[in-house]
Structure 1
Amino acid sequence: MMTNVGIIGCGMMGKVHSIAYGGLQNITVRAVASLSREQAEECARITSSRTSTIEEILADDEIEIVSICTPTDTHRDLVVEAARNKKHVFCEKPISRTLSDALEMVEVCRENGVLLGVNHVVRFFDAYTEAKRLIEEDAIGEVVMARLYRGGVFPRHGWNNWFDEFSRSGGVLLDLSIHDFDFLRTLMGEVESITARSVKTTPSHPSRNRDHAIAVLRFANGSLAHVEGSWAEPDTAPSKFTTSFEFVGREGMITYDSDEDFTMRVQTVSREFPSFSKSTPASDPYRLHISKFIEAIREGRKVPVDGDEAIEALKISLAANRSAESGRPVKLLEVV
């Protein structure tokens, strides 16, 4: 059974989606649309499709799924219109810039009988899935603390420099660290409160947005996590983007650093789970997530990361921004 797809937004993430769809069987990208003619033509070439307009994609009855790869503040309008045109939607993260927009997106998709998936893709990266598997198998005992880092150079690739506008991107805590907030929820449960600080540190570009932040999350089970996100790495940095994590349990710890040959290390006192180090494979997490999203549509079941889950991650980011602005801890219950 062939499934037809339309891609809206052909910047960096639109290109990533184009490549991911190209490796899937029984999937045809029928059309792509972008404000940039050059970027649209590149994605059309990658997918062997045609350039089109947003309106034409949404009106095309043969297109069943729409990928939304546009700036965060445009997600609400595009997702709502796609749902009203009876398209299933695979939307880039964050789900939206505001909670009210996200709630409306979920409700409109539900009313129109279409599925909404949000690309919290870190859940599908090999190192993170392996760490989650080991923790769920009790390899290091109960996790009591965690430390995660995600950062790189400032994302200048954004259309009209939209990452630099806080009102559009939400800054580093909402656009970038939300990846780690979402993943932590899958491991450590619900967040109770968050304390955050953010600063502007990059001298190499005229940023108005705060580009480096830390957040300390307190979970309902009493555990803690320290999350650091940065767009402030210098342009001369050897790695333009790096990630790392450390999970500390009562019987061991798991560490990973993408700068160290993607090596994961497990140290444990358990006889069932001896300590080891290994490199994690480099599969395509975007293709894996998209394929599982499409499988869920075909089989009529819940998508891997739906709008409700994306809203919970958004709430953490919004609470982090509120804490960074106010200088006080913020409870998740305050984000309504």
Structure 2
Amino acid sequence: MIWALVGASTIASQYMIGALRARAGGEVRWVVSGSEDHARRFAQDHDIPETTTDLSRALADPEVEAVYISSTNEKHHPQAMAAIAAGKHVLCEKPLALTTEEAAAMIAAARAAGVTLGVNHHLRHAGSHRAMREVIAAGRLGRILSLRVFHAVHLPEHLRGWRLDNPAAGGGVIPDITVHNADTVRFLLGEDPTSVIAESATSGMGQGVEDSAMSVWTMPSGAMVFSHESFTHPFTTSGLEVHGTEGSLIARGVMAQDPGGEVELITAEGRSALPFDTTSLYETAVGRFEDAVREGTEASASGRDGLKSLQIAMAVREAGRSGTRQTLDYGMSA
């Protein structure tokens, strides 16, 4: 597949270019950036032949089949809509958009145009998460009682900037990390929360945006979910726990971009390490996206998945701001 990058981003540089080129014939033809100098340096560093600050130039290339969007969050909607209108398939970074209305419009446009819209929710493509999902789905934990996500991290220096001080660009820990936790919980449990309560705070790094949040989600099955995310915790680890009537899963170091960490399964038979695939999360995500394009099926992390994770994150933000429980209505996600 021939791709155009929309956004000369860190994640594109560190992970996605390699993933896009991993399959036979995979090619990155264009990079689009708001800065001509940045685009030129980025292209030189990554051997990309074409650069531009004008998205329409890249979209006019008839050989470009798909675009990967990793610009700042407020640009996702207009850039995706332009790509869809040009008949290109779209793999967009999370969050899908700044508002649920924008996300729903992107889904509707892709459906009308007959192109594939996917969201780069990389965690559901981790071997660790897929192995945990299989354990849960097979009933090995019994009835699920609770799930705890601990995704408090220390935001690396090179990722700071708009995430910490620009609400108009989609800054804040909730649109950055809560959407990941939402998609992870939905992927593992196969259900969507019906309501959330939350607290959010600025604990040392955020300027005009929250940098920490905790929330509790009510699930249709009766399972309780606790989600903790932060930019300000330098000495901890990330992970999650799933507890059921017949067993528990304890995972450490799995809420990450690299396929590491460890998962322990605990049942009446004892404790054992849960083996899992350690293929690159991003290569798996891109491969499944390309398969969906070729087969005309929905992406493994679809626009609808992106919209639902955004709806949950926005409910968490509003609950934290208002101090009141927020009820989720997924009508526009149908």
Same fold (TM over 0.5): yes
Instruction: Give the letter aligned to residue 3 of structure 2.
Output: V
CA distance in 2, matches of 1:59, 1:193: 44
CA distance in 1, matches of 2:107, 2:330: 21
Among 315, 327, 332, the alignment partner of 2:323 is 327
**CA offsets 1:162-188 (integer angstroms, 9 cap, x no match):** 442233325212221211111211233
CA contact (8 A) 1:19 1:46 kept: no
CA contact (8 A) 1:41 1:51 kept: no
**CA offsets 1:244-269 (integer angstroms, 9 cap, x no match):** 1000011010001119x722111012
CA distance in 2, matches of 1:160, 1:213: 19
> In the superposition, relative to structure 1, how do residues 303 and 278 fare at CA in structure 2: closer, same or farther (>3 Å)?
closer
Q: Are residue 194 (structure 1) and residue 196 (structure 2) matched?
A: yes
CA distance in 2, matches of 1:101, 1:90: 16
CA distance in 1, matches of 2:161, 2:214: 27
Superposed displacement of residue 275, structure 1: 3.0
Q: SS of 1:177's equivalent? A: helix
Superposed displacement of residue 243, structure 1: 2.1
- Give the structure-2-normalised TM-score: 0.89
Q: How does 1:25-36 map to 2 (within 5 A)?
A: 25-36=24-35
Among 233, 247, 254, the alignment partner of 2:249 is 254
Q: SS of 2:238's equivalent? A: strand
Comparing 5-14 and 35-44, the one that deviates more? 35-44
CA distance in 1, matches of 2:64, 2:101: 28
Equivalences, count: 323
CA contact (8 A) 1:71 1:162 kept: no
Aligned residue in 2 for 1:231: 231
Instruction: Give the letter aligned to residue 25 of structure 2.
Output: N
Aligned residue in 1 for 2:18: 19
CA distance in 2, matches of 1:168, 1:83: 22
> In the superposition, relative to structure 1, how do residues 30 and 71 fare at CA in structure 2: closer, same or farther (>3 Å)?
same
> In the superposition, relative to structure 1, how do residues 281 and 330 fare at CA in structure 2: closer, same or farther (>3 Å)?
same
CA distance in 1, matches of 2:157, 2:330: 33
CA distance in 2, matches of 1:233, 1:160: 17
**CA offsets 1:77-97 (integer angstroms, 9 cap, x no match):** 000000111101000011011
> In the superposition, relative to structure 1, how do residues 255 and 43 fare at CA in structure 2: closer, same or farther (>3 Å)?
farther
> In the superposition, relative to structure 1, how do residues 223 and 206 fare at CA in structure 2: closer, same or farther (>3 Å)?
closer
Instruction: Give the letter aligned to residue 249 of structure 2.
Output: I
Superposed displacement of residue 112, structure 1: 1.6
Instruction: Give the letter aligned to residue 112 of structure 2.
Output: E
Q: Which runs of 5+ in 2 are unaligned?
A: 255-259
Q: How does 1:132-211 map to 2 (within 5 A)?
A: 132-154=133-155, 156-158=157-159, 161-169=162-170, 171-188=172-189, 189-202=191-204, 205=205, 207-211=207-211
Superposed displacement of residue 232, structure 1: 0.9
CA distance in 1, matches of 2:206, 2:243: 38
CA distance in 1, matches of 2:264, 2:4: 41
Superposed displacement of residue 158, structure 1: 4.9
Q: Are residue 216 (structure 1) and residue 212 (structure 2) matched?
A: no
**Identity across aligned pairs (percent)?**
24
Superposed displacement of residue 61, structure 1: 1.2
